[in-house]
Structure 1
Amino acid sequence: MDVNLPAFLPLVLTLVLALIFRHTLLALGAGILAGAMVYTQLQPQQTLEYLLDIASRQLYRDGQWQSWHLDVLAAMVLLGVMTQLFARGGAVTAFGDWLYTRIRTRRQARLGVILLGWLVFIDGIFSCLAVGHVCQPLSERYQIRREQLAYFVDSNASPLCALLPFSSWGPYLIALLAGISFLPVSPLSAFVELGQMNFYAVLTIAVSLYVAWQGFGFGRELPQAPLSAAVSKGNPWLLLLPMLTLLVASVGLTLWSGANNAQAPGVMAWLAAADIGAAMRNAALLAVTVCLLMMRATGRSLRELLADLVHGTRSMGLAIGILLCTWMIGSVIKDLKIAGMLAHLAEIYLNPSLLVAGMFLLCALMAFATGSSWGTFAIMIPIGAEIASQVAPELLLPALSAVLAGSVFGDHCSPISDTSVLSATSSGCEPRAHVLTQLPFALTVAASSLVGFQMLNAGFGKLGSWSLAIISCIVLVGGLQWWMSRRAEG
């Protein structure tokens, strides 16, 4: 495969603009336009036609509606509406009053955000949307910075999904693993084995817990008003019942759709056949309906409820625009075959003694550049398996684990990743601010993970590799905490 260097220019432009300027839409738009011009070789008419084509095919393609994209957009709007209903209808205030007697500190509030992320494990995007929106009022009540909230949301979404076979990621990855004919174990066993060596995902979750406990890393803490002992008792059910509806319905509808579509019995077969997008949309619709009924029962007028619906829909406009542009630039990157060129270069130049660590870095670069962990999985799992089988067959599973970990790391840091964008927007902060404040933690964990993967490559085994990765992580996070604390004091 020939390497087309000009094809990388739109990607570099997008990343530079996204990191330098505050306007994510501007950066994405510039990258899309530049990519279209490169793809059509600077032909104005063809460039316009191409732009219209990639825009339309995000919603309608090959004679059918793109149900996944439409369902995600619908769920975003519905969750935005539910958030506004909570805020404007008094549910947030009532829930906050109830929490006064239970969550008394910011530490408890931070840990509560992470716990909710663990409960909403079914899908990474769904977790980013639901946890960010629901915990915004909690973060405001306890004066948690929005960038810190976005970090907790993002760090307990994709990394968790990459470890759980019963999340929406599990069936997708298992299907990719099943395509490797020389896999030494069953696809499900391989997935579990890869999770046991996924240093980045496990350490990211662990570090987020430590950061929540210590509360460092996002500048000086905002001043918090003392909690009043005379606060009213509060009614948690205006918020809890719609949230429980959302959680239970998302799991139940996912399993129901899978059971109806699956060709074989069992939860894994159901998850593989489930329509996650439709389940996400319907769960959000059911939760909004419950919320509307409860608000109406408290005396809120129909006119007020209609205003809440309009306000909630409008509040999601920027997030929807960014997400649509993220999908469009993903199409441009795919058409320019950037990921394939990166994989081709790795196959030529990758040193066998750096196979596992090299796979981690390569997939991190590819996922960062494309903003897609799933796209990197699809390309690099079969390619990584082929490379490992030729270079060092005994390192096949460690190399595949490095593919998973690197893909999650790159996606975690990318300013054009949908999970990065949704974590930020659902938490009420700018994507650029979220990426920049999350980056020190992600790089620290990545460096520790790199140590673990290199030890696997050197034959230290899982126990020895984990020991060194954990020690490295403790040292690096300790140093990062000291540096950030000194910086905050200064």
Structure 2
Amino acid sequence: MEGSIWSLIPPLLALVMVILTRRVLLSLGIGIIVGAIMLNDFAILESIKHVAELVGAIFVTEGAINDWELFIIFFLLLLGMMAALMTRSGGTRAFGDWAVRKVKTRVGAQLLAFWLGIIVFIDDYFNSLTVGNVSRPLTDRHRVSRAKLAYIVDSTSAPICVISPISSWGAYIITIIAGILATHGVTQYGGLQAFIMMVPMNLYAIVAIGLVFAVAWYNLDVGAMKIHETKAVETGELLDAAKGPAPGEQDQVKVVKQGRVSDLILPIVALVIGTVTFMITTGIQGTEGTVTILSIFENTDVARALVYGGLIGFIVALVLNLVKGANGLGGSLWAGIKSMLPAIYILIFAWTLIGIIDGLGTGGYLASLVDGRIPPMLLPAILFLIAGVTAFSTGTSWGTFGILLPIAGEMAAVIDVTMILPMLAAVLAGAIFGDHCSPISDTTILSSTGAGSHHIDHVITQLPYAILSAVISFIAFLALGMTNSVLIGLAVAIGLLVLSVIILKRIAADKQPVSS
């Protein structure tokens, strides 16, 4: 069953179960069990042992601790405690009061989250968690649903990171591209120049960002998003209480005194400065030879920097709380830890399912679907779809880059080397699309956490917008491939985006409008 169409069963089953049951852990668990049974020829005991080994491998492999996974979990716990401390000190409430006076509309609250998502382009994990936590007090006051905030956060984080050369994503992609170009003797441009030239070809990222802005500006709420937004405006219910507390919730934390805006701003500033500083420091330490901006971001240890930055932010928040007294401090810290446990459980299940999928060879099977029988003009659009399905099925855009970018480069070198950049760009765009649709994607999970949204609500409400952006991008990639013109492909994408926004406005106008 490895490396065949059957390898698609576990991820697809998990998605179907998520949609039908709305229970994320149950759905991921079923996907894990079915995948393990497939991998072990239906031997139950061996399957159980395999799953246990995969869970253990998340934390320790061959006697060595897996820094990345553990650091991400530590960062989530630090962020939960830091958020609880900011709530306890009154900083969150004070910021909400201040922001409501400055940002007087729901549209303004959503646009603030959008622009923060654009500005924080260094790393998607950092973006998802920080922007969600900073924006939440304001969007809550303006009765913006948590699902809407999660969509804004998720659909700006990865798209902006994938087109920014000065980011952890940019450095990773540039490194891969440089190797592909060198392998195939393409010398007219280097990795960085090629990356910059590919930015206007990354049509999904551009369309997704444009659609987020339009959705926020015009209140283009459709499907499940419309239900969440209408309920938020009419009743003040920002998320479905029947599903229990969402990741990141701090409702159990009691405010000790009237807080100040600085009680929230100072820990966040410390977190940002600390994280960026350690990203640069670890990048310099990991660079052999000449140190450049690109080499720093190529060799930075993002997870370690997040933990160190989170620790600094936590210490600042703790000091601000101690000056107001220690009564109830332990309870607040425990509430902060508990608020992040749902997200950590989902991450562990998702990482386990990704291990199952890797064993089944799902990514390799999907990559094998692209062969020399496809007309060259269709290759960008086909690669976009294949990358989307791969990222959706595996839950990792970076893994998709690693699998499909070399294949796309090889195909272009054999068929038409002038198509190498559009084909590489199509892989990048498709990977982001699949990442946005996948319930097992790290960034999807962390966007839910940062926004304080139930994960399933975020997946379901984002899906229509991601699919619309993908349809627009697919047609635009067809135009790009047929004309070999970046400008035409980009013009088609922007034209279809504008047309879609006009249609969505009319659909929204036919229904009960949401107050702005």
TM-score range, shorter chain: over 0.9
CA distance in 2, matches of 1:179, 1:146: 41
Once the 2 structures are TM-superposed, how far is the Cα of residue 473 of structure 1 from its aligned partner?
1.0
Task: Give the count of matched residue pairs.
Answer: 481
Aligned partner of 1:135 in structure 2 is 135
CA distance in 2, matches of 1:409, 1:76: 25
Aligned partner of 1:228 in structure 2 is none
SS in 1 for 2:163: coil
1:335 aligns with 2:359: yes
Once the 2 structures are TM-superposed, how far is the Cα of residue 9 of structure 1 from its aligned partner?
2.1
Range moving further from structure 2, 13-22 or 376-385: 13-22
Compared CA separation, residues 386 and 24, structure 1 to 2 (3 A): same
Aligned partner of 1:187 in structure 2 is 191
Q: Unaligned 5+ residue runs, structure 2?
A: 237-257
SS in 1 for 2:435: helix
SS in 2 for 1:164: coil
Once the 2 structures are TM-superposed, how far is the Cα of residue 116 of structure 1 from its aligned partner?
2.0
Aligned partner of 2:67 in structure 1 is 67
**Contact 2:154 2:443 survives alignment (8 Å):** yes
**Contact 1:258 1:270 survives alignment (8 Å):** yes
Q: 2:218 aligns with which of 198, 208, 214?
A: 214
SS in 2 for 1:113: helix
1:235 aligns with 2:260: yes
SS in 1 for 2:371: helix
Deviations 1:127-167 (A, max 9, x none): 11222223222221111011110011001110010011111
Compared CA separation, residues 325 and 272, structure 1 to 2 (3 A): same
Q: 1:281 aligns with which of 291, 307, 312?
A: 307
CA distance in 2, matches of 1:61, 1:110: 42
Q: Unaligned 5+ residue runs, structure 1?
A: 226-232
Aligned partner of 1:437 in structure 2 is 461
Aligned partner of 2:379 in structure 1 is 355
1:256 is aligned with what amino acid?
T
1:254 aligns with 2:258: no
Aligned partner of 1:482 in structure 2 is 506
Q: 1:272 aligns with which of 273, 294, 298?
A: 298
1:444 is aligned with what amino acid?
L
Deviations 1:419-458 (A, max 9, x none): 1122113212222211221122212221221122111111
Compared CA separation, residues 48 and 235, structure 1 to 2 (3 A): same
1:212 is aligned with what amino acid?
A
Compared CA separation, residues 42 and 488, structure 1 to 2 (3 A): farther
Alignment of 1:64-143 (within 5 A): 64-143=64-143
CA distance in 2, matches of 1:257, 1:148: 35
Deviations 1:382-409 (A, max 9, x none): 0111122222222111000000000001
CA distance in 2, matches of 1:47, 1:353: 44
Aligned partner of 2:243 in structure 1 is none
Once the 2 structures are TM-superposed, how far is the Cα of residue 377 of structure 1 from its aligned partner?
0.4
SS in 2 for 1:135: helix
1:277 is aligned with what amino acid?
A
CA distance in 1, matches of 2:29, 2:475: 37
Aligned partner of 1:36 in structure 2 is 36
Runs of 4+ aligned structure 1 residues displaced above 3 Å come to: 348-351, 487-490
Compared CA separation, residues 101 and 9, structure 1 to 2 (3 A): closer
Once the 2 structures are TM-superposed, how far is the Cα of residue 121 of structure 1 from its aligned partner?
1.8
Compared CA separation, residues 341 and 89, structure 1 to 2 (3 A): same
Q: 1:465 aligns with which of 489, 495, 503?
A: 489
**Contact 1:250 1:279 survives alignment (8 Å):** yes
Once the 2 structures are TM-superposed, how far is the Cα of residue 270 of structure 1 from its aligned partner?
1.2
**Contact 2:218 2:505 survives alignment (8 Å):** no
Once the 2 structures are TM-superposed, how far is the Cα of residue 234 of structure 1 from its aligned partner?
7.0
TM-score with structure 2 length normalisation?
0.89
Aligned partner of 1:50 in structure 2 is 50
Range moving further from structure 2, 322-331 or 109-118: 109-118
CA distance in 1, matches of 2:235, 2:105: 10
Aligned partner of 1:446 in structure 2 is 470
Compared CA separation, residues 26 and 409, structure 1 to 2 (3 A): same
SS in 2 for 1:302: coil
2:397 is aligned with what amino acid?
S
TM-score with structure 1 length normalisation?
0.94
